[in-house]
Structure 1
Amino acid sequence: MDNLYIRSIRPIARGVALATALTQPLFSHLAVAQGPRAIEEVYVTARKREETLQDVPMAVSAMDGLKIEKAGIDDVGDLYTRVPGLFYTLGGGATPNSDFTYLSMRGVGFNGGLEPAVGVFIDGMYQPQVGFDLGFLDLARVEVLRGPQGTLFGRNTQAGALNMVTRDPGDSFEGLVELEADEHEDYRVRAAVSGPLSDTLAARLNVEARDAEGWSDNVTLNRKQNDAEGFSARGKLVWTPRESLEIKFIGDYSDREFGDLGYGAPINCDCTDVLHDFQQDDEKENTGLQMNIDWAITDTVALTSLTGYRSVDSISFYDPDSNVSDQTPLTLLPITESTTTPVVPIAVASEPITVAGTSHRTDLEQDFFSQELRLAGGADDLTWLAGLYYFEQKMKQGRKFDIGPGIPYLPLYIREDFTEDRDGWAVFGQASYTPTERMEVTLGARYSKENVDIGGERVLNVANASIFSFPKIGDEDYDNISGMASVSYDISDTMLTYVTVAMGWKAGGINRFPSRDNAILPYDDETSVNYEWGVKASSADGRFSANAALYWIDIEDQQLLTVVPDPQGATPITTIDNAASSSSRGIELELNGQFTEALGLEASYAYTDTEFDEYLQKDAAGNSVDRSGDHFEYVPENTFSATASYLFQMGGGATVEALLSYQYTDSFTSGSGSFNAPLGFLNENDSQSRWNARAVWNRDAWSATVYVENLTDELDYSLIDYGPFLPLDQATLYGKPREPRTFGVKVRYGF
C-alpha cells in the first residue's frame, strides 16, 4: 500500500475500511467480471491517505490501470477532454517543441513560463519541467487533482497536480508479453514480469520498445517527419523486513529519438506534409531513481520518506521558417570579448560561424534531487500530517539560432549558454477533524522558500553590423505562506458536498532570454485564491455516480510570457513579467453509469470562462495594447468527452467489450511566434472533434484489441501559426497536424 499507516490508523473519511484498498490483479489481462456490474470503486491518495474517489472532498479525476489499458491511454495527451479543465500550453513562445509544452488546469498555467503550474508526480515524487513526459508505462492508476495543491503536494501546483502511481509487485509470479502495430508502421513490444523473491522481497520489471515510421511526410527532404524509436523500462523492488516497515526502490529509464513537427504543415495544402529543409531527430534520455519508505512507528503514528533523483538530457531541433529557403551561405564574425562592462571572455561564439537557411537547436540538461519527510497520525476524530521538503534543481540550456542571407530578414546568429540553479525548502501540515459523523473540517498551510541563481552568456551577431554580447548573472529569493480550508458534509450515505478555499503560489524567477543588454530581468511570484463548491453523488447500488464542481479563481501578479518586436528590427525579445491580474471561473461535470450488465457510459464536461481583469501588454519600444477583458490563450471554453461500452458474452469464458468514444475541444486563441505580428496579435485555433472505437476480446490469459483512432479521419491541428519572417499578409499559415485515421491491433498474453 502507498501509505502503510492506513492499516492501523482509523481513516476519517466516513469510516471506509481501507485494509484491502488498491488491490488489483498485477497484470489485468483486461478481464471483465461476469454478472451484474457496479462502477468499479477507485481508491486515491489525493490527500496523502487512501480514500475512495467518491469520499474525497475535492475535485479529483482518477483512472485505474485497467481503464487506462482498455481506453488506450498512452500518455498525458490522451487525458485532454477526458479530465475536465485539463489542457496544454506552449510555454516557449516561438519554440514549438515538446520541451516547452506544459499542462494547464482551469486556465491557470496557460502562460507556461519557465516553471509549470500543474505539478507532475510519479509515486509521490515531483518531476521537473523536462522530465514529466514519461509515458503511462505500468501504472496502477492516474489521479488528476484540480485546484491549488500546494499544502500537501508542494511546488508548482498552483493549478493542480497529476499524480501517477506505478504498480507494486504481487504475491505470486506473473508476467505478460504484448505486441502492437498500426497501419502507419508504428510497432511496439512490451514485456513484464513480477513476483516474490523471498518472504520479504518482491520485484517487478516492465520494458517497452517502439519503432514508428510516422504518418507525416517531409516532402523536401524525402523522409518521414515524425518518425520515432525508443526504449523505456521501469523496475520496482519492494522490501518488507517487518510488518510495520516497507521500503520501495524504484527506477526508470527511457531513451528516445523522434522527429518534431515544428510549426507543421501549410494549412492551404489540406495535408499532413511538411516542407522543412532542416531536420534532425530530437533526442531525449531520461533517468529516475527513487526510494520510498513507509514506517508505522506506532499504531497511530507513521513516518514516510521520499528520496528521489532525476536526470534528463534533451536535444531538440526545428526549422524556424518551416519552408524551403535559399541556402546561400554567409560567414559571420566571431566574438572574442564581451562588448559590455565588465569585459569577459565569450566562449559560445569564439570562431567564425557560417549561416544558411534557418535552423534552431536547443540543448537542455537537467538534474533534480528532492527529499520529503512526512509524519502522519490519527486518533479519535482527528487525523493530521506534518512534513518537510527540500529540493535542488540544476539546469543548463544552450541555444543555437541561425538565419542565413537568403531569408527575407537580416542574417544573424544567436548563441546562448545559460545555467539556472534553483533550490528550496518547505514545511507543511494539514489536519482534518470530524466534529460529527457526517461533517469534516480540514485546515492546511505551507511555508515555501526558493532561491534562483543564474549564469551564462549570450551572443547576438546581426549581419556583422550590430554585435551584442553580454554575461548573464543573477540571484533572487522568493518565499510564500499559503493555506487551505475545507468543510465537507455527508448529506446522505451516497451524497457528499464540500466547500474549499485554497491559495496557490508559483515562485518567481529570472528570464532565460533577456533583451540585448546585460540587464537581469527577474519576475515576481504569482499568487491565486481558489473558491470551490462541489457535490459528489452515487446511487445506492453503486451503478451510477455524478460529480460536479463550481469554482472561481482570482490571480494576482500573473506571470506572462510575451514575444514582443525588437525596436531595432533585428530579433524578437521574449520576456516573462508580472503583467496582469485575472480571473477564471467555471463548472466541471463527471458522470459514470452502468445501465445494464452490459451497457456502460461515462462522460465529462468543462466550461472555463477566463478573463484578464487588468492587462496592458507592452513591447520594448513602449507601445502598448490593452488586453483587459480578453479570454486567456490556449484555453478552450468548452471541452466534452463521452465513452460508451458494451460487453458481449461470447461463450467458453470469452468476452468482447466494445468501446466508442467522442472528444470535443472548443476553439481557442494562441500567441504568435511571427516576428512581424503586431503587438497583441492572436491566432484563432478551430474547434476539434474526434471519434475513436475499440474492441477488446478476452479469454483466459489471452486478450486482443482492435482499434480505430480518429474514426472519421478529421484533419485538424493542435496549434496554428504564421511563418515568422514575412508580413502576415504574405506569410504562410502553418498547422501542427494531429494524427489521421489510424487502424491498429494489440495482442497480449499473460502468464
Structure 2
Amino acid sequence: MTPPSFHSHAKVWPRTTLSLALSLACIQASAADDPRELPLTLINADATSTPYKEKPYAVTAIEGKELQARRQDNLAETLRSTPGVSVYSSGGPNDYNIMIRGVGSLYQMSMDDSSVGMSLDGIDLSTRNLSLGTLDVERVEVLKGVQGTSSSASGAAGLINVITRKPTRETEGYVRAEIAEKGRFLQEGAIGGALSEQLSARIALRNSGEDSWIDNSNSGHPVSEPRDQAVRGSLLWDINESTRALLTAERNDADKRFNNLMLRPYGSAPSLDVPEGLFDDNEKSTERYSLRVEHDFDAMRLTSTTATTKTDFSGLVVYDNRLYEALYGSPSVFWNVDESVERTYSQDFNLASAAGSAIDWQAGLMASRNERSYDTPSNTFGSASAKYRDFTSNRYAAYGEATLPLTESLKLTTGLRHTWERKTYKGEYNAPGSTVTDAHRHNENYSTGRIGLTYALTPHSSIYGLVSHGHKAGGFNDYAGSPADSAAYKAANLDSLEVGFKSETQDAQFALNGALYVTRTRNDHILSYNPNTFATTALNADTRSRGAELEGLWRPQEMLTFKAAVSYIDARITTDAQAPTGAVQSGNRVPDTARWNGTLGVDYRQPLTLGNLPQAAFNARADYQYVGAREADPQNRFDLAAYEDLSLRVGLEIGGSEVYAFADNLLNQRYELYGFYSAGASGDVTYGAPARGRTVGMGYAYRF
C-alpha cells in the first residue's frame, strides 16, 4: 500500500439536490455502481502506509456515503451517534463539549482546550466548530485514546479526523434536496473534474435551515429560524510526477442559532417566554484557507500544510421569563451579548516513509498561533458591566511515530511528541463607576507518547496492547466574570492502558473489533458556572474511566448489511473539589457520560427490473441508538434520562436519480442535550434543552 495522496480517495456517490440537478443536467456522465466497502477496514488517513486496522488503538470510521444515508448533516450529529462519544450542547453554534470514553473536560474551559482534538484535512480546529456541516465529506474518523504522535493534531482523549473529498481527474458530482416538517430544508451539491492536463478542481455548496422546534409562548411561532450556508472550493495542481499542490478555500455561516436555556421539565410542547425575533442577529462565520504540497522522494514523502482559519461569533445568551423567575423570584427576560473573534495560523511539515519500507515511520514539526477574544460588551441593563478578554496561544511541537516488525507476526508501534505552549491573557472588567484590568502568562513544555504491540493471529485478525501518556494543557478560562476567576487552571496528565482485537473474514463479509481500557487523569478540568452570580470558576479534580466497546459488521448477502456497536463506560471523579455551586465528591460519576450506549444500523438494497428503466433499485435503511442515563453535573444532583432514537429511510433509485422518504426520531423521544442546576429563589432549579422530536420528510438525489 502506498502512502495516501490527493488521488487516492475512493469514488463515493453521495445523494444530491433537485435545484442543482437542473443546472447540471447538461453534463454528460454515467452513474457508477455504489461501492459497498467495509468502513471497518478501509481506514487510512494518516501519513504513513500502515492502515489503522494494523495499529494498536481503536478507530471508528464513518464513510461519507453512510453519513448521507444516515442524514447526519453536521459533525455534532455524527459524534452523538458514535458509541463511546458524548456531546454536550445547549444548541448554540459556539457551544460544544466532547468526551471520548468518559475522558475530556467536564465542560469546556476555553477555545484552545486540548481534551479532544479536531482535524479538518490535516488542519487543527477547535471543537467549538462541531456545528460545521458534513458537506462533501469523504470520511469522519474517531481515533480513541491519546493522539498526537502521528500527525500535527493532538488530543488527550482522542481525535476527530474529518476528511473532505478532493478533486479527481474524472468529472463527477451530485445534487440533493430535502424538505420536511417544521420548515426543515436542505439543498446541496458538488461537482469536480479536470480543468487541464495538470489542474483539477472541485466546488461544493450547501443551503439548509429549519424552524426551531422550540416555540415562542407569546406568539406560538418558532422562537427562531436557524439557517446554515457553506461553500468549499479546491484546486489541485499536478506539478509533475512527484509533486502536487492542493489549494482549498471554505466558508461556513450559521445564523439565528441560539443557546437554549429552558426550565425543566419542558412539557409536551417546549417553549420560551421571550420577545419575538430575539435571536435574529445571532451569527457565526468560519473561514478556512489552506495550501498542502506533497513531494515524493525515492524513500519518503514530504508534506507541507499551511493554513489560516478565521471565526467570528456574536449571539445572545438568554434567561426567559420562566427561568429568570425560578432563579431570582420575579419574571423578567435577561440576556448577555457574547462576542468572539478567533484567528489561527498554522504550519506543519511531515516526512513519511515510502511504501515497502522495512520500517513504517513518520516525523513532523508544527507551529501554530491562535489569537482570540471572548467579550460580553452588553446585557439587558446596558454596557456598564461590560467584560473584554483577549487571549493568545502559541504552540510548537515535534512529533514522530514508527511501526517496526519484530517478527513475521509481531509489530511494535511507538510514538513521541514534545510540545511547547505559550499563552497570554488580558482582561478588562467594568462596573458602574470603575474598571479593573488584569493580565497573566502561562508557559508549558511537556512530552506525550504511546507504545504498543500488534500480533497478527491470521492475515485478517490481530490482537494488540497499548500504553499511553497524555497531557491537557493548562490555560485561561474564557468565561471569567472578574479577575478572581481569571487565574490559569492547572494542566492535566493522564495515563491509559488499552487491549483489544481487530478481525474480519477473508471474504470481507464479517468484521469485529473490540477493546478494553482504563484511563486515570490527574487534575482533570472542571468548569463550574453559578447562574446566581454569573461567575464561572475553573477547578481541577482527578478522574478515572474504564470500560469496554465492541463494534462489528455482517453482510450475509450482497444486498444486506448489518452494523452494530456497544459501549460500556464507568467514569468517576476520584478526588474532592469545592465549587461555588456545591461540593464535588470523590466517587461521583463523570457528567454527560452514559454507562451503556449502543447502535444498530441495517442497510438493504434490492435491484429491481422496471421495464426499460436503467439500474433500478429499492433502498432501505434503519438506524437505532440507545443511550443510558447520565449525570447532568459534577455534583451528581440529577440525571438526564435514558433514551432511544430510531430513524428510517426508504428510496427508489432509477439510474442516477433517487426519490426517498425519511423519518428522524421516529419514537418521538425528546431526549435532553444537557442539564444545569442552581439554587433558585424558592428552591432547586434545573434547566437544560430538549432535542428535536419526530421529523418526517422526503428528498430527491441525483449523482453523476
Q: Where in structure 1 are there 5+ consecutive unaligned residues?
A: 8-18, 327-354, 405-410, 462-466, 673-679
After superposition, what is the alpha-carbon deviation per residue over 1:524-569, rounded to whole angstroms, capped at 9, x for unaligned?
211111111010111222100000011110101212112358xxxx
Shift of residue 272 of structure 1? 2.3
Distance in 2, matches of 1:300 and 1:179, equals 47
SS in 1 for 2:69: helix
Distance in 1, matches of 2:67 and 2:516, equals 27
After superposition, what is the alpha-carbon deviation per residue over 1:279-330, rounded to whole angstroms, capped at 9, x for unaligned?
223201111101111110x22111011111110101121322453879xxxx
Residues 78-477 of structure 1 mapped to structure 2, 5 A cutoff = 78-80=77-79, 82-89=81-88, 97-111=92-106, 112-114=108-110, 115-154=113-152, 156-220=154-218, 222-260=220-258, 262-264=260-262, 266-267=264-265, 269-277=267-275, 279-281=278-280, 282-296=282-296, 298-321=297-320, 323=322, 357-378=333-354, 380-400=357-377, 402=379, 414-461=385-432, 469-477=435-443
Shift of residue 59 of structure 1? 0.3
The answer as to whether partners of 1:38 and 1:594 remain within 8 angstroms in 2 is no
After superposition, what is the alpha-carbon deviation per residue over 1:432-490, rounded to whole angstroms, capped at 9, x for unaligned?
111222211111111101111111301245xxxxx764102111111101111011010
- The residue that corresponds to 2:25 in the other structure is none
- One-letter code of the match for 2:563? E
Give the TM-score normalised by the residue count of structure 1: 0.84
Residues 545-560 of structure 1 mapped to structure 2, 5 A cutoff = 545-560=511-526
SS in 1 for 2:57: coil
Distance in 2, matches of 1:613 and 1:432, equals 35
Residues 489-568 of structure 1 mapped to structure 2, 5 A cutoff = 489-514=455-480, 516-517=482-483, 520-563=486-529
Percent identity reads: 22
- Shifted more, 447-456 versus 392-401: the winner is 392-401
- The residue that corresponds to 1:749 in the other structure is 702
Residues 625-704 of structure 1 mapped to structure 2, 5 A cutoff = 625=583, 627-652=585-610, 653-671=615-633, 680=635, 682-704=637-659
The answer as to whether partners of 1:105 and 1:159 remain within 8 angstroms in 2 is yes
Q: 1:481 aligns with which of 447, 464, 474?
A: 447
Distance in 1, matches of 2:588 and 2:158, equals 23
- One-letter code of the match for 2:544? S
Tell me: CA distance 1:268–1:486, structure 2 relative to 1, closer, same or farther (3 Å): closer
Distance in 2, matches of 1:358 and 1:29, equals 42
Distance in 2, matches of 1:472 and 1:54, equals 50
Tell me: CA distance 1:735–1:616, structure 2 relative to 1, closer, same or farther (3 Å): closer
Tell me: CA distance 1:605–1:518, structure 2 relative to 1, closer, same or farther (3 Å): closer
Tell me: CA distance 1:137–1:385, structure 2 relative to 1, closer, same or farther (3 Å): same
Q: RMSD over aligned Cα, in angstroms?
A: 2.9
Structure possessing the higher radius of gyration over alpha carbons:
1
SS in 1 for 2:541: strand
- The residue that corresponds to 1:586 in the other structure is 547
After superposition, what is the alpha-carbon deviation per residue over 1:621-650, rounded to whole angstroms, capped at 9, x for unaligned?
xxx735101110111111111011222222
SS in 2 for 1:224: coil
Shift of residue 47 of structure 1? 4.0
The answer as to whether partners of 1:89 and 1:110 remain within 8 angstroms in 2 is no
Tell me: CA distance 1:417–1:591, structure 2 relative to 1, closer, same or farther (3 Å): same
- The residue that corresponds to 1:65 in the other structure is 64
The answer as to whether partners of 2:200 and 2:235 remain within 8 angstroms in 1 is yes
- The residue that corresponds to 1:739 in the other structure is 692
Shift of residue 32 of structure 1? 9.0
SS in 2 for 1:269: coil
The answer as to whether partners of 2:146 and 2:158 remain within 8 angstroms in 1 is yes
After superposition, what is the alpha-carbon deviation per residue over 1:263-290, rounded to whole angstroms, capped at 9, x for unaligned?
1365253222222348223201111101
- One-letter code of the match for 1:649? P
The answer as to whether partners of 1:212 and 1:228 remain within 8 angstroms in 2 is yes
The answer as to whether partners of 1:84 and 1:589 remain within 8 angstroms in 2 is no
The answer as to whether partners of 2:485 and 2:535 remain within 8 angstroms in 1 is no
Shift of residue 372 of structure 1? 0.4
- One-letter code of the match for 1:372? D
Tell me: CA distance 1:27–1:637, structure 2 relative to 1, closer, same or farther (3 Å): closer
- Shifted more, 650-659 versus 133-142: the winner is 650-659
Shift of residue 697 of structure 1? 2.4
Tell me: CA distance 1:265–1:182, structure 2 relative to 1, closer, same or farther (3 Å): farther
- The residue that corresponds to 1:54 in the other structure is 53
- One-letter code of the match for 1:477? N
Distance in 2, matches of 1:395 and 1:698, equals 48
SS in 1 for 2:260: coil
- One-letter code of the match for 1:288? R
The answer as to whether partners of 1:396 and 1:418 remain within 8 angstroms in 2 is yes
SS in 1 for 2:322: coil
- One-letter code of the match for 2:659? A
Shift of residue 748 of structure 1? 1.5
Is 1:602 the equivalent of 2:538? no
- Shifted more, 210-219 versus 448-457: the winner is 210-219
Distance in 2, matches of 1:291 and 1:256, equals 25
Shift of residue 682 of structure 1? 2.7
- Aligned residue pairs: how many? 676
Give the TM-score normalised by the residue count of structure 2: 0.89
Tell me: CA distance 1:367–1:724, structure 2 relative to 1, closer, same or farther (3 Å): farther
Shift of residue 51 of structure 1? 4.8
